[in-house]
Chains A and B, each alone.
Chain A
Amino acid sequence: MTLQVENLKFGYTNHTILKNIDLNIKSGEHVSVIGPNGAGKSTLIKCMDGLLKPQKGQVKIDGKSIGRLKRDQIAKKIGYVPQSSSSLFMLKVFDMVLLGRRPHSTWNSSEEDQKKVLKALSQLNIEHLAMKNYNELSGGQQQKVIIARAIAQETEVLLLDEATSNLDMRHQLEVMDIVRRLVDTIGVAAIMIVHDLNIAARYSDKIIMMKDGEIVAAGTPHEVLTEKNISSVYGVEISINHIHNRPYVVPLKAIYV
């Protein structure tokens, strides 16, 4: 599987949000997208799932432009975990995750689908929530349910829009471990927006750093997370340490110009 973003531009009439985006992602890669608020990270993720139509350029999966694919064809290849998701109606966690089987079974679920739901739930260690109402869960639990739904969807690509931002430290690490395991064991390509630079550094093969709708740096954590890059993109003074052979960012203070 290859996922390519070619010369992508997105925006509204007088307002460009993304420009000159080029990316190349393969199976078995864990990619973190970092950058300050308003850098266009979520917009990029939405363009990659075809939820937003680019003004220029295209997103290709296995050489095919996703603009030409139908929604259910995209859904078989790309899973998407939104920033937050509420259900309008009282839905059991099990039924929420079952929706991940929607691209694979047309109007009702089979025994096979139900087993895959259980598998996804147990991968995230949330089987005990299966019969609970989704809307009554905590934000962190809801986030895990949505990740389980994307896992049940069995796609080659997983797009996660700040999937760990609502989680506490323990759950954050759990979710990162799970995503990393999917990447290592079944060769999923995971592209996730991460706010915590150290989490990104620890788990990712590649980091993409964005600012003002453009990619300013891309490469391994060592290549991207430099003092120069971080201070110019985030406007903070930092120092870099190394733990477990990964860069570790210690923020010092905000730079006021």
Chain B
Amino acid sequence: MIESNISKPINHEISNKKLLVEYKKGNAKKVFLIFVLIAAIILFSLFAVTIGPLDISITDAYHVIIHKIFPRWISAPTEQILRTVWFVRVPRLLTGLIVGFSLAIAGSVMQPVLRNPMASPYTLGITSGAGFGAALAIILGKSIGNGPYFIVANAFFFSMLTSLVLILLSKRKGSSPQTMILMGIALTHLFNAGTQFMQYFADSWSTAEVVFWMVGSLSKGTWGTLKFIFPVVLVCIPFLIIKSWDLNSIGAGDDAAKSLGVNVESTRMILMIVATIVTSITICFTGTIGFVGLVAPHITRMLIGGDNRFVVPLSGLVGALLLAASDVVAMNILSPVVIPIGVMTSFMGVPLFIYLIVKMRRSLS
């Protein structure tokens, strides 16, 4: 047997210690970035509640918030200011943050789970399914049932149905994550055709409402909707974050992941279901807001690399900030005209995205 003559460095213990320190420093930087983004979101929120089409002074705005948190501490402001700040601006801001957070995390999970950088609730047809459901409720639903929750429930139902169809089709033998993306694109076209078909025969008022739903809006974000969204997000998101380490294994290939102890088939299915629930519960209230789920994870990867243990939570924060900031710009840049949030996220996100692709070129391998 030939003896290995590889020379080992004598100071190899010391260099190992150095490496460990360097590795930990790298991870600490990512944790630090989490805190930076949380701080940015808080600062942004403090700014966001002070501006809007209605002219309310900064002190008045903060007065309302402090009054609501510590009612005994400080006297009530006037009714109009209270309504505007506490019942319009604050819930709308929170909705933007929570929807951006959820969609971005859903996207950041779907991309590695399906091994495809194009995966997002939007490209998988989940948002189109919701749109079709909403259109169905708006156009045909008046005879069956009514009220805003009927539209919401229908949108939720159809987006869940879309993902169920995807998952069942993907369980067939020989289908790969790639076929799931193709199915998603096919379903998108089917649902869009269905929606357009209904619009073609609908009255103009309903058509306008469908269009309004399709472009997405945070204006329906009230304390009432938050009561639905928040508990679901609170249960689902920690689960996705806990599972994020397994996404690194799955990204290395199915066989590799299995040999590392990940039950790939069931993990893929559970993560897809949970990510869809999070997506559906948010978009059924806000309408089609797709782009943030695709772009926020990529922006995050360009900033910190591909370790999903950090990509998943950080994507959420990037998405929250991107969506909420887009909404503030959308509301105020052409005031009193409010630009649809879906349009605004694309206007703001795409240039940033393209800049990062050109500049950094390291989102994906």
Interface residues of A (CB under 8 A from B): 46, 49-51, 70-72, 74-76, 78-80, 82, 85-92, 94-96, 99-100, 102-103, 107-108, 114-115, 118, 122, 125, 127, 130-131, 133, 135, 146, 149, 153, 173-174, 177-178, 180-181, 202-203, 244
Contact status B256-A85, CB under 8 Å: yes
A30 CB, min distance to chain B CBs, angstroms? 11
Q: Name the 3 nearest CB pairs between A and B, nearest first.
A: A89-B306, A75-B261, A80-B259
When the two chains form the complex, which single residue of A70, A82, A89 contacts B253, counting CB atoms closer than 8 Å? Answer: A82
Residues of B within 8 A of A174 (CB): 4, 6
How far, in angstroms, from A89 to B44 measured CA to CA in the complex? 31
Interface of B is mostly: helix
Contact of A107 among B8, B16, B242 (CB under 8 A): B242
Residues in A with CB closer than 8 Å to B141 are none
Q: Which of A87, A89, A177 has the largest count of B CB atoms less than 10 A from its CB?
A: A89
A154 to chain B, nearest CB (A): 12
- Check if B194 is an interface residue, CB within 8 A of chain A: no
* B contact residues around A89 at 8 Å (CB): 112, 248, 251, 301, 305-308, 311, 364-365
Measured between beta carbons, the chain A residues less than 8 angstroms from B115 are 88
Q: Does B15 reach chain A (CB closer than 8 Å)?
A: yes
- Cβ of A91 and Cβ of B306 under 8 Å apart? yes
Within 8 A of A (CB), among B17-32: 19-20, 22-24, 26
- Are the C-beta atoms of B112 and A88 separated by less than 8 Å? yes
A95 adjacent to B307 (CB under 8 Å) = yes
Give the complex CA separation of A177 and B301 in angstroms: 38
Checking B6, B16, B117, B262 against A102 with a beta-carbon cut-off of 8 angstroms, the contacting residue is: B262
A173→B4 CA distance, assembly (Å): 8
Residues of A contacting B15 in the complex (Cβ-Cβ under 8 angstroms)? 127
Chain B contacts with A in 235-259, Cβ cutoff 8 A: 242-243, 245-246, 248-249, 251-253, 255-256, 258-259
Residue-by-residue, is B103-126 near A (CB-CB < 8 Å gives 1, otherwise 0)? 000000000100101000000000
Known interface pairs A90-B301, A92-B307; A114-B20 also in contact (CB < 8 Å): yes
How far is the CB of A172 from the nearest CB of chain B, in Å? 12
Q: Which residue of B lies closest to A244 (CB)?
A: B1
Q: Is B358 an interface residue (CB 8 A)?
A: no
B290–chain A nearest beta-carbon distance, Å: 22
Contacts of A181 in B (CB 8 A): 4
Alpha-carbon separation in the docked complex, A181 to B1 (Å): 11
Chain B residues contacting A100 (CB-CB under 8 Å) are 260
Contact indicator per residue, chain B 216-233, by CB within 8 Å of chain A (1) or not (0): 000000000000000000
Instruction: Please give, as numbers and ranges, the residues of chain B lying within 8 Å of A49 by CB-CB distance.
Output: 258-259
B23 x A108 contact (CB < 8 A): no
Chain B contacts for A102, CB-based, 8 A = 245-246, 249, 260-262
Report whether A71 and B365 are in contact in the complex, using a CB–CB cutoff of 8 Å.
no
A-B contact pairs, 12 of them (CB 8 A): A74-B261, A82-B255, A82-B256, A85-B252, A89-B311, A89-B364, A90-B362, A91-B248, A95-B307, A108-B245, A122-B16, A177-B2
Within B254-287, which residues are at the interface with A (CB < 8 Å)?
255-256, 258-263
Name the CB-closest residue of B to A78.
Answer: B259
Complex Cα–Cα for A46 and B20 (A): 34
Closest to A70 in B: B263
A51 to B252, CA, bound (A): 15
- What separation, in Å, do the CA atoms of A174 and B242 have in the docked complex? 38
Instruction: Given A76-B261, A131-B22, answer yes or no on A88-B245 (Cβ-Cβ < 8 Å).
Output: no
**A127 contacts B262, C-beta separation under 8 Å:** no
Specify which chain A residues have a CB less than 8 angstroms from the CB of B252 in the assembled complex.
85-88, 91, 96, 99
Q: How far is the CA of A206 from the CA of B219 in the complex (A)?
A: 72
B359 contacts A by Cβ under 8 Å = no
Q: How far is the CA of A86 from the CA of B251 in the complex (A)?
A: 8
CB-defined contacts of B305 to chain A, threshold 8 Å: 89-92, 133
Q: In the complex, which of the residues A46, A86, A125, A130 contacts B19, with contact meaning CB atoms closer than 8 Å?
A: A130
Chain B min CB distance to A131 (Å): 6
Q: How distant is B104 from chain A, measured CB to nearest CB, in Å?
A: 16
In residues 76-112 of chain B, which contact A (Cβ within 8 Å)? 112
Chain B's closest residue to A124 (CB) is B6
Given contact pairs A71-B261, A102-B246, a sample of 6 additional A-B residue pairs in the complex whose CB atoms are under 8 Å apart: A51-B259, A72-B262, A88-B252, A89-B311, A118-B16, A131-B19
Chain A residues with Cβ below 8 Å from B251 are 87-89, 91
Most buried by A among B258, B263, B364: B258
Collect the chain A residues with CB atoms within 8 Å of residue B256's CB: 80, 82, 85, 146
Determine which residue in B6, B117, B259, B307 has the highest number of CB atoms from chain A within 10 A of its CB, and name it: B259
Residues of B within 8 A of A75 (CB): 259-261
Bound-complex Cα distance A202 to B1 (A):
7
Q: List, in ascending order, chain B residues with CB within 8 A of A72's CB.
A: 261-263
B12 at the interface (CB under 8 A from A): yes
Q: Give complex CA distance A181, B22 in Å.
A: 29
- Shortest Cβ gap from B242 to chain A (Å): 5
CA gap between A127 and B22 in the complex, in Å: 12
A59 to chain B, nearest CB (A): 14
| B63: Cβ under 8 A from any A Cβ | no
What distance in Å separates the Cβ of B245 from its nearest Cβ neighbour in chain A?
Answer: 6
Bound: A143/B162 CA distance, A: 40
In the bound complex, do residue B255 and residue A46 qualify as a contact, i.e. CB atoms below 8 Å apart?
Answer: yes
* In-complex Cβ contact of B4 among A79, A85, A177 (8 A): A177
Q: How far is the CA of A75 from the CA of B251 in the complex (A)?
A: 17
Provide the residues of chain B in CB contact with A127, threshold 8 Å.
12, 15-16, 19
Question: CB of B309 within 8 A of chain A?
Answer: yes
Chain A: CB-nearest residue to B250: A88
Q: What is the CA–CA distance of A163 and B112 in the complex, to the nearest angstrom? A: 26
